Amino acid sequence: MRYLLPFIAWLLSYPAGAQTPPLPAQSLGQYLVERWSVLAGESPVHLSVRPYAREDAVALARRADSIPTGALGRWAAQYLFDDNNEWLTPADSLHYRRSRKSILRHFYQTPAHLFEVNTEHFRLRANPMLHLLAGQQNGEPTLLFINQRGLEVRGDADGRIFFYTDLVETQAQFANYVDEWVKNYQSLPGVGFFKPYRARWLRSETAYDYNIAQAGIGFRLSRHVGLQLGHGRFFIGHGQRSLFLSDVGNVAFFLRLQGRIWKLHYQSLFLELNPISTAVPRPPNSLLPKKYAAMHYLSWKVRRNLTLGFFEGVIFNRSRQFEWQYLNPVIFYRTVEGMLGSPDNAILGLEARWDIAQTFSLYSQFLLDEFFTPELFGRDRQGGWWGNKYGAQVGLKYFNAFGIPYLDLQIEANTVRPYTYSSFDSLNSHTHYSLPLAHPLWANFRELLAITRYQPHPRWTLAARTLLARTGEDPPGENWGTNPLLSNASRVRDYQNHIGQGIPTHIRLFGVDLSWQCKHNLFWEAQILWRTKHSAQPERNLETRLLTLGLRWNVWYRMTDF
């Protein structure tokens, strides 16, 4: 990557317009952008490419504000205007709100931001981040908690460059099924480096201490094309899950080229990944091994309510050397991979979204992780050839269900065949820091999700979710296709493979979340979660019942549902 600095220096001299920092994943703004895009009947935003841009959020808020949407709709539009007020124009002066009382004249001049700067050539926003949570699990004395503090800063300069960064430090004790994940995979969901956390008042040996930093700098190369460099997470898809690329894992170093013109949104994404986590035993102070990913994604709005998406990606390990042929942003990666001798892990995907009557959204994904056509289409006489690696998703969203404003329903089904995302070289698997790059259940599963979200009042939100999954766990020393961290050369058999093989396991999860937004992005919340894992081997059974209470300030809760 030593050529990147001269490349970025060249970009700085390029005449360009401003770009915008992204909306946080799982945020209220992200949710509003999607629902308004559907309810409005048309939108310039390609909803499968996340995170969304803050400038797009303001544009949609303007549209929603011009349509009669009731008190909740007006509140939601003003929320986005406040949250992204650096992108308001002089024509939006009615929506630029100032606080009734600022603090020391310089802080909280507007309701959403602790500190802001507005000049002709420079804009900046800074906000604190805080997440405090405490709860109890299964009536046990061990305290579940999250103690997270941080700072978010974003801005743009000269109308040419934007930047953003956030850093949060965390100490936490999670539910028992998260501890089980750490024990099995030596990684912590959503985290890279972590270490044990012990305090005199804490009775548990499984609390963790870690920090997470996301940051990026972006440039607009032309009116429609931009480039970003930084550390972050991405999501490709329309569902709660993605079979292509999701944000369930750790942040990654990235270079991102994207363009939006006509009916197209094109993204070329390059990632530097780590095949193992920092918890995997290795020599002291040694560097983690490296691998890389190159991914293309094209979203095409065939009609204003019909969108198709085309995805291709390749994971490759070169002992810290990037494969420069994959930098071509418009080539078919499988062809390049074949020219190199087929040493890498190539994946293809197709997805679609159909918005119906400005109320329903029907969406789907299909992932293909194998390209040996004879076995895929007919030579598989024994059935269940291990190399038939693919996954599928189908889902439906219902906005303003049954005519009730801000009652939104979603149902989604996912299935992924055994050994999907894996490779003969375990370093080439579709993983990062021993965490999934796509679905949190890895592979070898069927899953059904149902989600309800209701906002009866601007300050109150009630959400419920249900997960039912069937998967298969590996007995010691065997590889039945669930864990892509293992080389698929260690598979148990070539044929008669099926979803759920290994040790049959059923997972049921039900959660309810109630939140009250007392100030802008300051939430009091209560959560109830019940999860059971039933295994064909009773000693692997696990039950989780927990109740938590918490406070969030400019932090968006990341669900650990698996």
pLDDT tens per residue across span 5-58: 443 433 333 333 335 789 998 999 999 999 989 988 888 899 999 999 999 999
Residue that has been written with the tokens 């969304």 in this structure:
52
pLDDT at 71 over 90: no
Could you tell me if residue 200 is inside a domain?
Answer: yes
- For residue 418, tell me if it sits in a domain: yes
Has residue 560 been placed in a domain? no
Percent of the chain with pLDDT over 90: 69
Task: Write the CA distances from 186 to 211, 218, 432, 436, 548, integer angstroms.
Answer: 17, 34, 12, 13, 26
Q: pLDDT value at position 2?
A: 45
Domain residue limits at 520:
4-98+127-280+288-553
Least confident among 51-65, 107-121, 317-331, 423-437: 317-331
Q: Is the separation of the CB atoms in 230 and 215 below 8 Å? A: yes
Indicate if the pLDDT at residue 341 is higher than 50: yes
User: pLDDT at residue 281 above 90?
Assistant: no
Secondary structure letter of residue 245 according to DSSP = B
What pLDDT was estimated at residue 295? 94
- The CATH number that applies at residue 258 is 2.40.160.130
Is residue 103 in a domain?
no
The pLDDT value given to residue 283: 82
User: Does residue 488 contact residue 424 with C-beta atoms inside 8 Å?
Assistant: yes
- Cβ atoms of 206 and 197 closer than 8 Å: no
Residues 6 or more apart whose CB falls under 8 angstroms from that of 405 comprise 70, 72, 73
CB 377 within 8 Å of CB 346: no
Query: 425 in a domain, yes or no?
Result: yes
With a cut of 60, say whether residue 356 has pLDDT above it. yes
- Residue in 250, 242, 481 with CA at minimum distance from that of residue 347: 242
Here the tokens at position 124 are 């900046």
User: What DSSP state is assigned to residue 107?
Assistant: B
Please check the confidence at residue 3 and state whether its pLDDT lies above 50.
no
Residues in the chain: 562
Q: Which two tokens stand for residue 526?
A: 């209560």
Q: How much is the pLDDT for 329?
A: 72
C-alpha distances in Å from residue 177, one per residue of 109, 189, 280, 435: 44, 11, 20, 15
Mention every residue, 6+ apart, whose C-beta is less than 8 A from residue 246. 235, 236, 237, 436, 437, 438, 439, 440
For residue 112, is it within any domain?
no
State whether residue 145 is helix, strand or coil.
strand
Q: Is the peptide bond before 484 cis (omega within 30 degrees of 0)?
A: no
Average per-residue pLDDT in the chain? 89
Rounded to whole angstroms, what are the CA distances from 449 to 86, 242, 467, 469? 37, 13, 5, 9
Write the secondary structure of 190-227 as one string of H (helix), E (strand) and C (coil).
CCCCEEEECCCCCCCCCEEEEEEEEEEEEEECCCCEEE
**199 inside domain:** yes
Identify the pLDDT of residue 91. 82
Q: Name the token pair of 88.
A: 């308001």
What's the pLDDT at 13? 35
Q: How far apart are CA 372 and CA 37, in angstroms?
A: 39
**Poorest-pLDDT segment among 149-163, 271-285, 385-399, 520-534:** 271-285
Residue linked to tokens 């892990």 = 345
Question: What does the alpha-carbon distance between residue 556 and residue 238 come to, in Å, rounded to a whole number?
Answer: 19
Helix, strand, or coil here: 346? Answer: strand
pLDDT at 19: 58
CA dist list (Å): 133 to 129, 188, 208, 486: 14, 18, 14, 35
Residue 225 buriedness (CB in 10 A; 0-12 / 13-18 / 19+): middle
The angle, 0 to 180 degrees and rounded to 10, between the axes of the packed helices 54-65 and 28-39 is 50
pLDDT at 534 over 70: yes
If one counts the domains in the chain, the total is 1
Q: Which residues pair with 193 in a beta bridge?
A: none
Q: Give the amino acid at 287.
A: L
Encode 518-542: b = buried (16+ Cβ within 10 Å), e = exposed: eebbebebebebebebebeeeeeeb
Give residue-wise pLDDT tens across range 378-437.
Answer: 554 567 889 899 999 999 999 999 999 999 999 999 999 999 999 998 889 999 999 999
pLDDT at res. 344 = 82
Q: Is residue 557 packed enough to be buried (19+ CB in 10 Å), middle (13-18) or exposed (0-12)?
A: middle
Where does the pLDDT of residue 285 fall: very low under 50, low under 70, confident under 90, or very high at 90 and above? confident
CA distance 198 to 17: 49
Q: Which residues pair with 486 in a beta bridge?
A: none
Cβ atoms of 448 and 413 within 8 Å: the answer is yes
Most confident residue range from 216-225, 228-237, 327-336: 228-237
CA atoms of 106 and 104, how far apart (whole Å): 6
Q: Is residue 244 part of a domain?
A: yes
Tell me the average pLDDT across 472-486.
95
pTM score, two decimals? 0.92
